[in-house]
Chain A
Amino acid sequence: MKTIKEKKSRILFQCINYTILIVCMIVALYPVLYVLAASLSSYAFLAQGKVGIIPMGFNLEAYKRVLAYPMIGRSYMNTIFYTASGTLISLLMSILGAYPLSRRYFPGKNFLTKLVVIAMLFSAGMIPTFLVVRELGMYNTVWAILLPTAVSSFNLIILKTFFEQIPYEMEESAALDGCNHLQTLFIIILPLAIPGLVTVGLFYAVYQWNSYFPAMIYLRDRELVPIQIVLRDIVIQNQTTDLAVDLVNGADQVSESIKYATIMVATIPIMLVYPFVQKYFIKGVMIGSVKG
């Protein structure tokens, strides 16, 4: 008797559970789908609020405007440069930091691990960091984007965990074969830690792709800014006049779709890559959280 009753309430519970979770997914996806639909819709439908997740009055005018705007192309290339070189520098630095900390015998291991962890708990102030960057002559150079945020303690700890999972015997036998540390690292450890490198590399890449704050405070030169800054100017600060000025319909009408199209242009690469790499992200967070 009891089991039947229990089974019934269990089924009821799972139904509610599935419903809630489906709602969660809709809430997570809806804004993105709406922006996509709105970017492809004509202004008439947008103004009436008729656009849902299906484009109404399909047209690519907004995208044509956005892609024809020289600042978009320029800043897009900058973002690609910052993402590629930033990820490389960050990965290299994290490997150099994580490998020694993951070894069994390493003098100062505890102290240096604390150095890394404390920096994760307390961020240095905005102003002193700004002044240090300026004193180093990095202000308004690409180095201000690449170096001050080069190492993330969280990612370093994730990588260290991946290295630690490789059996110590591997290092031992490599040493017996006459490998020094660098050879051990590159020939033995790194190939075995590829999932870890991919995870951490992706975290760094997404960070660089999405970051705007360092660019906002360190870069004066418009030629150097990443796409996120241009996106902010267009979408949040409403500087759409450059883009829409010579349009027959008047600036105001396209400017709304232009905002949506700009958002999509800056976000599409992440959307395209995400389904294939999300398992690394999930694994990375799980490892980082268990350790950190």
Chain B
Amino acid sequence: MQNTPASTTPKVKLNKAPGKNPNKKSRKWKSLKYSYPLLLMFFPVFVYYLVFRYIPLIGAFIISIKKYQPALGLIGSKWVGFEYFQQFLNSVFFWRLIRNTLAINFFQLLLGFTAPIILALLLNELGSSKFKRLVQSVTYLPNFISSVVVVGIVVVFLSPTTGLVNSVISRLGMEKVNFLTEPSYFWLIYTFMVIWQTTGYNAIIYLASLTGISPELYEASNIDGAGRWKQLWHITLPGISPTIVILLLIRLGNLLEVGYESIILLYNPSVYSTADVISTYVYRRGILNGDYSFASAVGFFQSVIALILIIAANKLAKKYTDTSLW
């Protein structure tokens, strides 16, 4: 469907852009001649963003203040105002979802956010060696394994009958644990899974910014007699702090999202009490139950909170560091 504008674009341009009379015509006409094909070229991408990104973004709000019924269409459906928002705020699930979403994020910030920084700093100490590149590629590998496989590996590792972890536990003389049906383990399991998957990837981002620090700074501090630790505190960390701030801001923007794609694979009804987050709830209510309006209201609520968070965080970042997203 989207290919049609893309494939008609070339023909139009081949006929219409002569590019022979450069200086004669007025500047404005020239720039229009120049930019018109570019605009045409961008058009399919514009349509894509409009249809699949921005219409759903705005549509979310409209659906959530109506009682959307597919048979009636969006226009024919009844207005209900903020009924669904109220319903969500008053529901028994509200605080549980908020708590789980925040808790999972807390663990990920605490462990998942610091691990790649440490890995990058350690890698940076190696200078540029083959070993460094080897570690980089090996730790990056898990990022390319699909979430189905990663969750699958977790499931088979933790399996109460044949899983590796439980066979170690039973050999140590302890009782086997069914980790995946025990709510108290979910946050930790999920956090370690994400760390395994993303640390190598994120470390590369920090390494890129580490290589941007001028070597002269280190040389100068060597002459001044600064030790390694002092250099770390006064040169290296300040050098990558813009990257840290930016990644933290992006992280905050997606705070309420969490990796619902893997949570949906990993959880089961017996651990909903700790594993159910806003996005997974939206999935169950919206996609599985067809409560489109209610689920959209929950999703929209989440987006608004995310927006507030990211704007506030950006303000703080601007005030206390020199870095910000805009």
- A122 close to B307 (CB less than 8 A): yes
* B122 at interface, CB cutoff 8 A: yes
B44 touches A236 (CB 8 A): no
B52:A147 contact, CB within 8 angstroms: yes
Q: How far is the CB of B24 from the nearest CB of chain A, in Å? A: 15
Contact B279 A126 (CB under 8 A): yes
Report yes or no: A282 in contact with B140, Cβ–Cβ below 8 A.
yes
| B146 lies within 8 A of A122 (CB) | no
Set B55, B140, B148: member contacting A212, Cβ < 8 A: B148
Q: Check if A121 is an interface residue, CB within 8 A of chain B.
A: yes
A270 vs chain B, min Cβ distance (A): 5
Q: With a CB–CB cut-off of 8 A, which chain B residues contact A13?
A: 125, 228
What are the residues of chain A within 8 A of B10 when measuring CB–CB? 182
For the residues of B in contact with A, the DSSP-based class is: helix
Contact A148:B52 (CB < 8 A) given known A28-B139, A281-B140: yes
- CB atoms of A93 and B204 under 8 A apart: no
- Choice from A48, A128, A274 contacting B59 with Cβ under 8 Å: A128
Q: Cβ of A285 < 8 Å from any Cβ of B? A: yes
Instruction: Give the interface residue-count category, chain B.
Output: 35 or more
* Secondary structure of the A contact surface, majority rule: helix
List of B residues within 8 angstroms of A99 by Cβ = 38, 41
- Convert A1-35 into 0s and 1s, putting 1 for each residue whose CB lies closer than 8 angstroms to a CB of B: 00000100010011001101100110111011011
A66 to chain B, nearest CB (A): 13
0/1 string, B155-199, CB within 8 A of A gives 1: 111010110101110110000000000000000000000001001
Tell whether, in the assembled complex, residue B2 and residue A266 are in contact, meaning their CB atoms are under 8 Å apart.
Answer: no
A179: chain B residues within 8 A (beta carbon):
19
Contact B147 A180 (CB under 8 A): no
Does A143 contact B168, Cβ atoms closer than 8 Å?
A: no
Contact check: which of B51, B119, B227 meets A24 at CB < 8 Å?
B119
Q: Does the CB pair B53–A124 fall under 8 Å?
A: yes
Q: Flag if B200 contacts A28 (CB, 8 Å).
A: yes
* 79-113 of chain A: CB within 8 A of chain B: 89, 92-93, 96-97, 99-101, 103, 105-108, 112
Instruction: Please state if B162 and A46 are interface contacts (CB–CB under 8 Å).
Output: yes
Does B31 sit within 8 A of A, measured CB to CB? yes
Contact residues, B196-213 vs A (CB, 8 A): 196, 199-201, 204-205, 207-209, 212
User: A residues within 8 A CB of B283?
Assistant: 126, 217
Contact assessment for A121 and B287 in the assembled complex, using a CB-CB cutoff below 8 Å? no
Rounded to whole angstroms, the CA-CA distance of A17 and B76 in the bound complex is 65
From the candidates B22, B208, B254, B287, name the one contacting A217 in the complex (CB within 8 A): B287
Find chain B residues with CB under 8 A from A290 CB. Answer: 208-209, 212
Query: Closest residue of chain B to A103, judged by CB?
Result: B38
Minimal beta-carbon separation of B168 from chain A (angstroms): 7
Q: Chain A residues with Cβ under 8 A from B279's Cβ?
A: 126
B-chain residues with CB within 8 Å of residue A267 when the two chains form the complex = 145-146, 149
Residue of A27, A119, A236, A289 near B208 (CB, 8 A) is A289
Decide yes or no whether B265 CB sits under 8 A from chain A.
Answer: yes
* B200 proximity list for chain A (CB < 8 A): 28
Given known pairs A49-B164, A125-B60, the reply for A206 and B53 (CB within 8 Å) is no
A145 to chain B, nearest CB (A): 13
Asked if B14 and A180 sit within 8 Å, CB to CB, the answer is yes
Residues of B within 8 A of A47 (CB): 161-162
Complex contact B37–A180 (CB within 8 A): yes
The stretch of B90-98, B99-107, B292-300, B315-323 in contact with A is B292-300
Complex: chain B residue closest to A176, CB-CB: B22
- Residues of B1-48 at the interface with A, using a CB-CB cut-off of 8 Å, are 1-3, 6, 9-10, 13-14, 17-20, 22, 31, 34-35, 37-39, 41-42, 44-46, 48
A–B Cβ pairs within 8 angstroms, 7 of them: A21-B135, A32-B153, A89-B3, A127-B60, A131-B68, A231-B149, A263-B152
Given contacts A93-B44, A266-B148, 4 further A-B contacts (CB under 8 A): A25-B139, A49-B164, A282-B136, A286-B207
Tell me the B residues contacting A by CB distance below 8 Å. Answer: 1-3, 6, 9-10, 13-14, 17-20, 22, 31, 34-35, 37-39, 41-42, 44-46, 48-49, 51-57, 59-60, 63, 68, 70, 119, 122-123, 125-126, 131, 134-142, 144-149, 151-153, 155-157, 159, 161-162, 164, 166-168, 170-171, 196, 199-201, 204-205, 207-209, 212, 227-228, 243, 250, 253-254, 257, 261, 264-265, 279, 282-283, 286-287, 292, 295-296, 299-300, 302-303, 306-307, 310, 325
